[in-house]
């Protein structure tokens, strides 16, 4: 993996005493083990995503370079990594700084994938809905303390203590209690839309603009895609947000629950098996090898990391049959070990297509954290769906099914 880089820091200056909260923007920041301001370590830091870190500056003076250390190396010194210690803090907020900080905060929340960040999203949206002037209130605003007291008494009479607490917080201009008012989601995970690779070619019209990944798998999946992009490769994927099948009398639940748990990835099969020399994806193996064909991504453009060419045998298919062709000098990257770093694996042995419509080879599954004999289907469903949705689905009678190492099955 490439060493991390820093493109900008917001704010780019802070108090000499330290304690400034700094948003570090760059690439390859996942897995950061240290953040330093010059020779001094940050007092604390948190990795938000592969492109963002929030760190607290230590005490210091003058202009220093901020660096990030990951297992892949240390970021270089650039104009965007400079941080200036101010001799004295200003008591007047800088409007440009406030705007920049607000923009950075909103970017972090918009790209949130962790449970804490999603909860922060929910709190901010709830505050806006309850106390922001988005939609005029059906009740006139109180004009004096007597009318305020009347509203407070009315909410008490109606046994609405949570609404009364929120109203008081709005009047005082302070952060209110975080107790949900009955509609805040408590589901820990979600499906996140990720911008898809859509390389030019005959398959491009069939490739969706986005694909969906479960929130706890987003960061490693993006890291895997970055690895491929650095080598000039693409990986078109075709996953939509899963929906539970409706429950019907006498209907059995689907045999494979993993797609409904956000634990699968599917390559766009139309991006392969046509012309292995130009398709984004190829099924290939070293020329003359007796090993099975493997999924590979074609180097269609020059990347920052060079992939040496080699001779391969590859699969090409028509509507009815498949055959093998020779690629004399082709640069390919094996996809399986790259996606394995994100927890996704193809079938083993890999299914070999029999015609151009056969897409069984393009399916990857993720069983990270599933413990054979212990993990229950109901617990896994509860990570993505609320109780009423699960109860109305075809899985309602299978909540006690247990993972057996290859599938969820009824307990013996």
For the chain, what is the mean pLDDT? 85
* Residues 6+ positions from 348 with CB-CB distance below 8 Å: none
pTM: 0.60
- Which residue would you say has higher pLDDT here, 68 or 176? 68
Residue by residue, DSSP assigns 167-203 as HHHHHHTS-------S-S---S--EEEEEPP--SSTT
- Is the pLDDT at 312 greater than 90, yes or no? yes
Domain boundaries, the chain: 5-110, 115-172, 191-364
pLDDT band for position 311 (50/70/90)?
A: very high
**Of the listed ranges 102-106, 181-185, 275-279, 399-403, the one predicted with least confidence:** 181-185
Do residues 169 and 177 lie in contact, with contact meaning Cβ atoms separated by under 8 Å?
yes
Dihedral sign, CA of 53, 56, 58, 59?
positive
- Please tell me the predicted confidence (pLDDT) of residue 182: 47
Mean pLDDT value of segment 311-323: 93
Q: Which fold has domain 5-110?
A: Immunoglobulin-like (2.60.40)
**Of the listed ranges 171-175, 383-387, 390-394, 396-400, the one predicted with least confidence:** 171-175
- Please tell me the predicted confidence (pLDDT) of residue 222: 95
Give the model confidence (pLDDT) of 208-254 as tens digits. 999 999 999 999 999 999 999 999 999 999 988 899 998 888 778 99
**Nearest residue to 261 (alpha-carbon basis) of 348, 183, 188:** 188
Quote the CA–CA distance of 10 and 12 in Å, as a whole number: 5
Query: To which residue do tokens 């992939």 refer?
Result: 307
Q: Kindly list the distances between the CA atom of residue 180 and the CA atoms of 37, 146, 176, 219, 251, in Å, as whole numbers in the listed order.
A: 39, 28, 11, 28, 36
- Please tell me the predicted confidence (pLDDT) of residue 29: 92
What tokens appear for 146 in the block?
Answer: 């007597």
Which percentage of the chain shows pLDDT scores above 90?
58
- Is the pLDDT at 281 greater than 90, yes or no? yes
Burial letters 105-138, b for 16+ CB under 10 A, else e = bebbeebbbbeebbbeebeeebbeeeeeeeeeee
Burial class (CB in 10 A: 0-12, 13-18, 19+), 86: middle
Which percentage of the chain shows pLDDT scores above 70?
82
- Please tell me the predicted confidence (pLDDT) of residue 124: 67
**Of the listed ranges 117-131, 240-254, 294-308, the one predicted with least confidence:** 117-131
- Please tell me the predicted confidence (pLDDT) of residue 188: 85
Dihedral sign, CA of 331, 204, 264, 382?
positive
- Please tell me the predicted confidence (pLDDT) of residue 183: 46
If DSSP codes are grouped into helix, strand and coil, which group holds residue 283?
strand
- Which residue would you say has higher pLDDT here, 89 or 44? 44
Mean pLDDT value of segment 243-267: 90
What tokens appear for 359 in the block?
Answer: 């897409």
pLDDT band for position 157 (50/70/90)?
A: confident
What tokens appear for 254 in the block?
Answer: 């689907």
- Which residue would you say has higher pLDDT here, 147 or 396? 396
pLDDT band for position 134 (50/70/90)?
A: low
**Nearest residue to 277 (alpha-carbon basis) of 303, 302, 298:** 298
- Please tell me the predicted confidence (pLDDT) of residue 87: 76
């Amino acid at each position: 993996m490439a060493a991390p880089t820093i493109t900008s820091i917001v704010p780019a200056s802070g108090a000499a005493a330290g304690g400034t909260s700094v948003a570090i923007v760059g690439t390859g920041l996942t897995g950061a083990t240290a953040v330093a301001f010059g020779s001094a370590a940050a007092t604390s830091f948190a990795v938000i995503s592969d492109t963002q870190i929030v760190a607290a500056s230590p005490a210091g003076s003058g202009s220093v370079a901020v660096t990030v250390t990951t297992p892949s190396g240390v970021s270089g010194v650039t104009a965007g990594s400079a941080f200036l210690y101010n001799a004295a803090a200003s008591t007047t907020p800088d409007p440009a700084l406030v705007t920049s900080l607000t923009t950075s905060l909103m970017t972090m929340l918009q790209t949130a994938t962790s449970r804490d960040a999603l909860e922060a999203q929910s709190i901010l949206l709830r505050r806006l809905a309850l106390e922001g002037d988005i939609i005029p209130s059906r009740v006139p605003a109180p004009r004096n303390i007597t009318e305020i007291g009347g509203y407070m008494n009315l909410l008490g009479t109606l046994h609405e203590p949570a609404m009364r607490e929120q109203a008081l917080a709005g009047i005082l201009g302070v952060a209110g209690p975080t107790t949900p008012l009955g509609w805040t989601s408590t589901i820990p995970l979600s499906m996140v839309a990720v911008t898809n690779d859509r390389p030019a070619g005959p398959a491009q019209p069939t490739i969706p603009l986005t694909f969906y990944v479960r929130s706890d798998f987003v960061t490693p999946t993006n890291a895997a895609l970055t690895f491929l992009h650095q080598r000039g490769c693409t990986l078109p994927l075709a996953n939509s947000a899963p929906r539970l099948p409706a429950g019907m009398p006498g209907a059995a639940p689907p045999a494979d629950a993993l797609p409904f748990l956000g634990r699968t990835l599917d390559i766009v099969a139309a991006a392969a098996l046509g012309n292995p020399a130009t398709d984004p994806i190829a099924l290939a193996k070293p020329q003359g090898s007796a090993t099975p064909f493997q999924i590979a991504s074609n180097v269609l453009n020059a990347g920052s990391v060079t992939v040496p060419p080699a001779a391969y045998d590859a699969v090409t298919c028509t509507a009815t049959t498949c055959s093998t062709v020779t690629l004399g000098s082709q640069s390919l990257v094996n996809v399986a070990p790259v996606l394995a770093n994100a927890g996704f694996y193809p079938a083993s042995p890999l299914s070999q297509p029999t015609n151009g419509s056969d897409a069984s080879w393009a399916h990857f599954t993720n069983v990270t954290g599933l413990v054979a004999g212990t993990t229950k289907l109901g617990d896994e469903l509860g990570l993505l769906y609320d109780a009423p949705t699960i109860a109305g689905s075809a899985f309602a009678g299978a909540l006690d099914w247990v993972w057996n190492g290859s599938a969820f099955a009824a307990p013996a």
